[in-house]
Structure 1
Amino acid sequence: MASVSENTTGNTVETGIVQEDFSVIMAQAFATYGLSVVTDRALPDARDGLKPVQRRILAGMREARYFSSRPTVKSAEVVGLILGNYHPHGDTSVYEAAARMAQPFTMRYPLIEGQGNMGSEDGDAPAAYRYTEMRLSPLAEALMADMERETVPLHPTYKQDPKVVEPDYLPGRIPPIVNPSSGIAVGLSTNIPPHNLGEVIRACIALLDRPDMTVDELMGFIQGPDFSQGGHIVGVDGIRDYFTTGKGRIIVRAEVRLEETPRRRALVVTQIPPTGRDKVKASIIKAFNAHKLDGLMPDLRDESDTEKGTRIVLELRKDADAAHTLEQLYRETDLQIALSFQMVFLFGSPLQAARQPKQVGLLELLNYWNAHQLDLLTRRAGYDLRKARERLHIVEGLMIGAEHAEEIVKIFQQADDRASARRTIEERYQLSEIQSDVIASMTLAQVTKMDSGKYRREHGDLQTRIEELERLLSNRRALITLLKKEMQQLVRQFGDERRTIIDVEGSVEKPITRVASLYEREPLTIAFTRSGALKTLAQDTFRPKEKNGELIYTPVRGDEQLREVIATTSQDYLLCMASSGRVFQIASHRIPLATRSAKGEPIQSLLELNPEEEIVAIVPIDAYDEDRYLVTFSRLGKVKKSPLSEYKTIDVDGAQDMKLADGDSIVTAVLSHGQGEYFVTTDYAQTLRFSDEALRAQGRVGQGVAAISLTHGGVVVSASYYDINTTTSIDVETGEVIQDMVSVLVATEAGTLKKVPVSQYPQKGRATVGVVTTELVDSDRVLFTMLINEHDYLLLTWKGANGEKGEHSLPLKASEVIAFPRVKRGVQVVNGRILSAAKLG
């Protein structure tokens, strides 16, 4: 209220001063300030995952057309643009935000492509903005796709220029959790981890059909955080917590390998938790100086670079136990850290700025984002429909104009001015003002060249487009189908492999018993014998020798034991499938080196096999790609296809893979790229060829589905994968790519052998009978089939008839095996029983 005082004459005078309680003013001012920090600075929008400063930078760069297809521009130019038009704050905040969006070690998927020194994992700050350059990344352009089609609301910036506007939120075609975000507001904070784009979008596609799925079902799509630095997450309880409530705590470990040479041993850090390398190194030095790392030498070398990535070398003492020292490192340094997540986003209604902060779990968040994407598609389709109708209206006027072009020219010539000509055209031909304006704006030359046929074709195309858009807007299912299609395109364009491995059954309390070795990549040849042993051999062991101008392969003692020859590298892993349906994994460099005639290392000493288990297939793995699968076939005709990514954490202890019915067992396992075909053969000479598309992927632990329909009490004896992309070779003389001659090699127990072109096997549906693959005589049965190329070398192992002791090896060139029609019997190649065949390459 106004203050009242008394003057010298005794009269009261109003002073105009209003008195207020200071605590009330402070409360009101702080509430305004707090709301501003929450909504306009610290928290990301749930629709695009961006804070206001990030959104302004990206939108401003888009408006200035700093696209990925154009040269980079000075960062100073970007900062000046954003400050001048969008962000009324300091230049430091703008440049730091832009630089972070360009750092691949900060953002899982960078939104800006930087050039120059944009900072490093070692804690180095970016160079000054006068030295660096930047432009939008293709992902940022996808994030802002369709903004020009009135999909998001715009409002004037602080500049109050009607031509300068900014969006309340971006279309956000990329889910808001693929990149990390953190911020501290007033009374609120957020810390959002990054996730794999492919996993998240596949989950969103599934949620479109099943928005009420459980958290455990969601975890079948999204494994957990996927940090740009990689690392290992120990356990899944914390992941499940923040998936459910938006709040959780996880443990992340560095990837540490043991490097051994004849002169030294060292622990090599190849991936770190989501913290700077400088902090990791400082924590190791601090722990060493505190005498908490008794197994290390006083020597820490950072050999990291842009090509090799992270490589921190820690020398071990001569008598140190590597596993114990690694436990100390995890316990005492930042090679193991705990991360707490609190997923707080701002929410808002369509076409309104987000104002409601809320902590959410992943299910609620992704369902909200899906609804936002459907709203975007609806608005985009509505915009396209309006524009199509407007153009249709104009084209209809142009069609009338084209039909009366000569008369319109005369009207122009006789009119006093263009305005009167327009009015005359509008009245005479019953056109709208818009239609007459378009014609009146033409020159006489343009009017005379008007093509009625062209306008009729455009008219038909527009009517078709309008009908399509009307159907789309009236059918929610059609909108969802379109959204799925566009999401799948994003996965194909921007999806990549997961970097962070999640140890589902891991625990920080579980002692470390061994440290995986680190070796340089070099080619290996590994032999798997019929007695169940593995051995690494010299590279040219099975290479045919040239004699008199001809390549000759000469078997030696021990070759009759060959079951399979595996070409791999020292950095690869071997997935070993057991007859029981369990799967094991071992590093290829752990297979001991042996001579050709040596028996090798029994596989029971390398893997934790049960007495009744037998390894039936070994598959070399060089990368756990999302688009590659392990496909397992059983004796009773079942098949299971599982993504390779689900086998990352398998070790020599083994894990359950395919669940088998009583009396069933695993026959083989093959590696699939998801776009080939399978050939499945039974002992009763039925071979079925079916497409990979007919076999849906499922989780690692499952019963599978029917692969082939068995007849006559037969059982599956072999299965092969046919990939057309790997059956080509280069002609040495011409350099041309030629299609290899691929055939099916058919062997029977009675010693017959033949090859049949794959073209003689028609593709049929999965779970059908197939076709006859050879003629069987008496009690003969098919032993196996395999796919071969003409340049392959084969080594057949066989045993003589009539009780003859010993086994024999028979080398064969695939080109020398006689070809027969599918329904005919092969030729007798040995006088006895074929035991196995190994492809030597």
Structure 2
Amino acid sequence: MEEQIIKTEYSDVMQKSYIDYAMSVIVARALPDVRDGLKPVQRRTLYDMYELGIKYDKPYRKCARIVGDTMGKYHPHGDSSIYESLVVMSQDFKKGLPLVDGHGNFGSIEGDGAAAMRYTEARLQKVTQEAYLGDLDKDVVDFIPNFDETEKEPAVLPVKIPNLLINGADGIAVGMATNIPPHNLGEVIEGVQAYISKPDITTKELMKYIKGPDFPTGGRVVNKDELLSIYETGQGKIKIRGTVKTESSKNGKDKLIITEIPYPMIGANIGKFLNDICTLVESKKANEIVDISNQSSKDGIRIVLDLRKNSDVEHLLNMLYKKTKLEDTFGVNMLAVADNKPETMGLKEIIKRNVEFQIELTTRKYKTLLARELDKKEVQEGLITACDVIDLIIEILRGSKNIKDAKDCLINGNTANIKFKSKASEKSAGKLCFTQRQASAILEMRLYKLIGLEIEALIKEHEATLKNIALYEDILSNRSIMLKVIKKELEAIKKEYAVPRKTVIENAAEAVYEEKKIEEQEVIFLMDRFGYTKTIDTAAFERNKEAVLSENRYVFTCMNTDKICIFTDKGMLHSVKIIDLPFGKFRDKGIPIDNACNYNSSEENLIYVTSLGNIKNRQLLFTTKMGMMKQVDANEFDVAKRTISATKLNEEDELISIDIMDGNQNIVIQTYKGVFLRFMSEEIPQKKRGAIGVRGIKLGKDDYIEEIYKFYENTSINITYKEKEISLNRLKIAGRDTKGTKARV
């Protein structure tokens, strides 16, 4: 076969491939289906447990078995994603309605991970079995081939409640993400019933039933008035606060007890919350707090803050709301897969889609049930008729040579191959016309069925079948009756599984917190040779001036409202507020500078330390080991971030010097091999902090810059190099980026 080369625009191929990949992730991995509210991995895990018979009233089975079976049959994307999904579906602090009953260590609200799947066990919850998987045997959903077409799996589970709202969802796809809060089961069912009764109901009217999110961790939603807009558009931000109680003791000391946390705080954020409080205490912004204890257990959250006597509790609470995660936001984006495409939906649209799905499920369910009842009716009528002529049937059976002849006589009245005792019997047999199914049932019928009571039971069963047929036909032919059936099923689920609301919905005043203004004063910054830093007042400095200067590497005056700028050889700038450094006596030890900012003394070295106020509106001269130089406006380092890149460096280069420049000065570069180069600073251009700079000197092989000197014209400056005194002002002025002059020693 001749080879064919198809010429295609590369961008078109990439675009198509990327879109195909994106849609695969969106539809088949990351987003839930609006109908059952489940992602594919969740749906497949639950179905596999159903197939394995791991029901709520059966013994637990190892999670490793469930994960392995799911991966082998339905979800070939790795065991970790399946097990993680299984764990989350069992965690009552993440799901409003857990779908899996876990046995063993399935993690904690404080972020502890679950034990390995070989140690834990699981089974289906009763509600999952009844409301999520109950009608799978009634042909209510389509089954599709699995990944290798060796098994069949449901395209969607026949979930009878809006799981998308009840359990919420979160997931990150390609270019989009979903984040749906959980809601109260009873309220959602009431909302669905209200929609069924009044399809043109407004979102505002629906919110009389569904008041807002109901998070498993409780807490308080404090922007009630914004919920209507969120539920209409499917997008917005919900503000959540933890629940805090105040306890007073006889000695006048209060305690703040946090009993419920905002939903986004679950996991590692609880530890971060405690660290944030500690930071506030250490920085003396929360002096009211004298002790913090986390007394949380399996019974619930209990974080206790012991306060000083006569503390301003309201002020402290407002600070915690503003400065910690005690008040947080839940970003709502109600995105789900509908009709095989992602769609952002409001509350009413999700309920509408769910009701349409329920109607489809109910229609298919009762069609299946009707077909089964019609089959039963046919067989029952055949058996009842057979009981009326049982003597004739027995005669036919005894006179037949084989089952084929007997069956042919029962169905077609063919008596040719059958011996009868009389012509009357033969004539009666010729009138028989049972159906194929009836004939098979008659031939399979056992003799005890001919007992009088058994015949009566058969007749009653037939009457019940006729009633069921009439009922199912009414349901299928009358939409209002079908909707009543759906509402009745929902009511039964609500009655058995609804629980009281945990989250309070209210409008609360915005937390107002103003930091106390710092009384501005002049202080002296000290850093010793071991990197310990502190600040002292100017009076203490004057009293101990000689000792201060001899014992410290960096000493300078600054304002306590200023920031310290720490430049390192890696070209980084670390900032720390002076107010965050200890202020005290000269002989106080201070704290390591590593603890006050992101500087790491084991990985980088200090090059220059100063305050932002000392360099503001001035030019800084940067010099690197390999000879790159530039002038930078110091105002570029007045940033909010604690760590930024101060300059760009070439590979294997490092920063060796930063100097403050005042006008045009003489610059002298001294290299390791004793080469000196003098030129004017105006030859060094001003650059941005993100630039590398220009070359200051042409270095010889294995040489590098060791020192930088600067001085004004007509100034005498002498240095000692290898025991020989050199007058820098006598060096010949050359140009930047030349080789320089070798010192004679």
TM-score bucket of the superposed structures, by smaller chain: 0.5 to 0.7
2:64 aligns with 76
The change in CA–CA distance for 1:388 and 1:479 in structure 2 (over 3 A counts) is: same
Supply the AA of the counterpart residue of 1:507. A
2:403 matches 1:422:
no
2:256 matches 1:271:
no
1:332 aligns with 323
Q: Please list the CA deviations of residues 438-463 of structure 1 after superposition, one character each: whole Å capped at 9, or x if unmatched.
A: 22234566678895433322222211
TM-score, normalization by structure 2: 0.63
1:310 aligns with 301
Structure 1 residue matching 2:329: 3-state secondary structure: strand
Question: 1:76 Cα deviation (Å)?
Answer: 1.1
Q: Which runs of 5+ in 2 are unaligned?
A: 414-431, 515-745
Question: 1:300 Cα deviation (Å)?
Answer: 2.2
For residues 292 and 117 of structure 2, the distance between their equivalents in structure 1, rounded to whole angstroms, comes to: 33
Question: 1:97 Cα deviation (Å)?
Answer: 0.1
Equivalent residue in structure 2 for 1:469, among 453, 472, 478? 472
1:288 aligns with 278
Q: Please list the CA deviations of residues 714-761 of structure 1 after superposition, one character each: whole Å capped at 9, or x if unmatched.
A: xxxxxxxxxxxxxxxxxxxxxxxxxxxxxxxxxxxxxxxxxxxxxxxx
CA RMSD of aligned residues (A): 2.2
User: What aligned pairs does 1:782-821 form with structure 2 within 5 A after superposition?
Assistant: none
Supply the AA of the counterpart residue of 2:157. L
Question: 1:15 Cα deviation (Å)?
Answer: 5.3
The answer to whether the Cα contact below 8 Å between 2:91 and 2:98 also exists between their aligned partners in 1 is yes
2:124 matches 1:121:
no
Structure 2 residue matching 1:262: 3-state secondary structure: coil
1:385 aligns with 370
The answer to whether the Cα contact below 8 Å between 2:291 and 2:307 also exists between their aligned partners in 1 is no
Question: 1:340 Cα deviation (Å)?
Answer: 0.9
2:332 aligns with 341
User: What aligned pairs does 1:377-416 form with structure 2 within 5 A after superposition?
Assistant: 377-416=362-401
User: What aligned pairs does 1:745-824 form with structure 2 within 5 A after superposition?
Assistant: none
Q: Please list the CA deviations of residues 607-651 of structure 1 after superposition, one character each: whole Å capped at 9, or x if unmatched.
A: xxxxxxxxxxxxxxxxxxxxxxxxxxxxxxxxxxxxxxxxxxxxx
The change in CA–CA distance for 1:21 and 1:317 in structure 2 (over 3 A counts) is: same
For residues 374 and 50 of structure 2, the distance between their equivalents in structure 1, rounded to whole angstroms, comes to: 28
Supply the AA of the counterpart residue of 1:267. L
For residues 56 and 288 of structure 2, the distance between their equivalents in structure 1, rounded to whole angstroms, comes to: 47
User: What aligned pairs does 1:370-769 form with structure 2 within 5 A after superposition?
Assistant: 370-428=355-413, 429-442=432-445, 451-503=454-506, 505-509=507-511
Structure 2 residue matching 1:177: 3-state secondary structure: helix
The answer to whether the Cα contact below 8 Å between 2:33 and 2:337 also exists between their aligned partners in 1 is yes
Supply the AA of the counterpart residue of 2:256. L
Question: 1:296 Cα deviation (Å)?
Answer: 4.2
Identify the structure with the greater helix proportion: 2
The change in CA–CA distance for 1:298 and 1:509 in structure 2 (over 3 A counts) is: closer
Greater Cα shift, 329-338 or 282-291: 282-291
The change in CA–CA distance for 1:411 and 1:500 in structure 2 (over 3 A counts) is: same
2:160 aligns with 173
Question: 1:261 Cα deviation (Å)?
Answer: 2.1
The change in CA–CA distance for 1:449 and 1:409 in structure 2 (over 3 A counts) is: farther
Question: 1:91 Cα deviation (Å)?
Answer: 0.7
User: What aligned pairs does 1:146-161 form with structure 2 within 5 A after superposition?
Assistant: 146-161=135-150
Structure 2 residue matching 1:401: 3-state secondary structure: helix
The answer to whether the Cα contact below 8 Å between 2:290 and 2:308 also exists between their aligned partners in 1 is no
The answer to whether the Cα contact below 8 Å between 2:254 and 2:311 also exists between their aligned partners in 1 is no
Supply the AA of the counterpart residue of 2:323. E
Question: 1:364 Cα deviation (Å)?
Answer: 1.4
1:782 aligns with none
Q: Please list the CA deviations of residues 239-282 of structure 1 after superposition, one character each: whole Å capped at 9, or x if unmatched.
A: 11221110011110001111222354321110000122541332
User: What aligned pairs does 1:221-260 form with structure 2 within 5 A after superposition?
Assistant: 221-260=209-248
Structure 2 residue matching 1:270: 3-state secondary structure: strand
Q: Report the number of matched residues.
A: 490
The change in CA–CA distance for 1:168 and 1:287 in structure 2 (over 3 A counts) is: same
1:205 aligns with 193
Question: 1:68 Cα deviation (Å)?
Answer: 0.9
Supply the AA of the counterpart residue of 1:226. D
Question: 1:222 Cα deviation (Å)?
Answer: 1.0
Supply the AA of the counterpart residue of 1:143. Y
The change in CA–CA distance for 1:76 and 1:453 in structure 2 (over 3 A counts) is: same
For residues 382 and 71 of structure 2, the distance between their equivalents in structure 1, rounded to whole angstroms, comes to: 46
Question: 1:125 Cα deviation (Å)?
Answer: 0.7
Question: 1:19 Cα deviation (Å)?
Answer: 4.7
TM-score, normalization by structure 1: 0.56
The change in CA–CA distance for 1:454 and 1:15 in structure 2 (over 3 A counts) is: closer
Q: Please list the CA deviations of residues 79-115 of structure 1 after superposition, one character each: whole Å capped at 9, or x if unmatched.
A: 1221122111211110100000000011011000101
For residues 453 and 259 of structure 1, the distance between their equivalents in structure 2, rounded to whole angstroms, comes to: 73
Question: 1:368 Cα deviation (Å)?
Answer: 1.8
Q: Please list the CA deviations of residues 530-555 of structure 1 after superposition, one character each: whole Å capped at 9, or x if unmatched.
A: xxxxxxxxxxxxxxxxxxxxxxxxxx
Question: 1:510 Cα deviation (Å)?
Answer: 6.1
For residues 174 and 336 of structure 2, the distance between their equivalents in structure 1, rounded to whole angstroms, comes to: 14
Question: 1:223 Cα deviation (Å)?
Answer: 1.0
Question: 1:135 Cα deviation (Å)?
Answer: 0.7
Q: Which runs of 5+ in 1 are unaligned?
A: 3-13, 349-354, 513-841
For residues 454 and 275 of structure 2, the distance between their equivalents in structure 1, rounded to whole angstroms, comes to: 80
1:44 aligns with 32
The answer to whether the Cα contact below 8 Å between 1:248 and 1:340 also exists between their aligned partners in 2 is yes
The answer to whether the Cα contact below 8 Å between 1:254 and 1:273 also exists between their aligned partners in 2 is yes
Supply the AA of the counterpart residue of 1:301. S
For residues 457 and 411 of structure 2, the distance between their equivalents in structure 1, rounded to whole angstroms, comes to: 22
The answer to whether the Cα contact below 8 Å between 1:284 and 1:329 also exists between their aligned partners in 2 is no
Question: 1:152 Cα deviation (Å)?
Answer: 1.2
Question: 1:356 Cα deviation (Å)?
Answer: 2.1
For residues 482 and 364 of structure 1, the distance between their equivalents in structure 2, rounded to whole angstroms, comes to: 22
The answer to whether the Cα contact below 8 Å between 2:110 and 2:271 also exists between their aligned partners in 1 is no
Greater Cα shift, 58-67 or 198-207: 58-67
Structure 2 residue matching 1:317: 3-state secondary structure: strand
The answer to whether the Cα contact below 8 Å between 1:42 and 1:184 also exists between their aligned partners in 2 is yes
Question: 1:292 Cα deviation (Å)?
Answer: 6.4
Question: 1:321 Cα deviation (Å)?
Answer: 1.3
For residues 318 and 132 of structure 2, the distance between their equivalents in structure 1, rounded to whole angstroms, comes to: 42
The answer to whether the Cα contact below 8 Å between 2:179 and 2:332 also exists between their aligned partners in 1 is yes
Q: Percent identity?
A: 34
Structure 2 residue matching 1:392: 3-state secondary structure: helix
The change in CA–CA distance for 1:445 and 1:407 in structure 2 (over 3 A counts) is: farther
The answer to whether the Cα contact below 8 Å between 1:402 and 1:447 also exists between their aligned partners in 2 is yes
2:289 matches 1:297:
yes
For residues 500 and 338 of structure 1, the distance between their equivalents in structure 2, rounded to whole angstroms, comes to: 14
For residues 446 and 96 of structure 1, the distance between their equivalents in structure 2, rounded to whole angstroms, comes to: 54
Greater Cα shift, 313-322 or 29-38: 313-322
Supply the AA of the counterpart residue of 1:258. T
The answer to whether the Cα contact below 8 Å between 1:254 and 1:336 also exists between their aligned partners in 2 is yes
The change in CA–CA distance for 1:451 and 1:258 in structure 2 (over 3 A counts) is: closer
For residues 64 and 198 of structure 2, the distance between their equivalents in structure 1, rounded to whole angstroms, comes to: 47
The change in CA–CA distance for 1:502 and 1:510 in structure 2 (over 3 A counts) is: farther
Supply the AA of the counterpart residue of 2:176. L
The answer to whether the Cα contact below 8 Å between 2:322 and 2:513 also exists between their aligned partners in 1 is no
Question: 1:495 Cα deviation (Å)?
Answer: 0.7
Q: Please list the CA deviations of residues 628-682 of structure 1 after superposition, one character each: whole Å capped at 9, or x if unmatched.
A: xxxxxxxxxxxxxxxxxxxxxxxxxxxxxxxxxxxxxxxxxxxxxxxxxxxxxxx
2:677 aligns with none
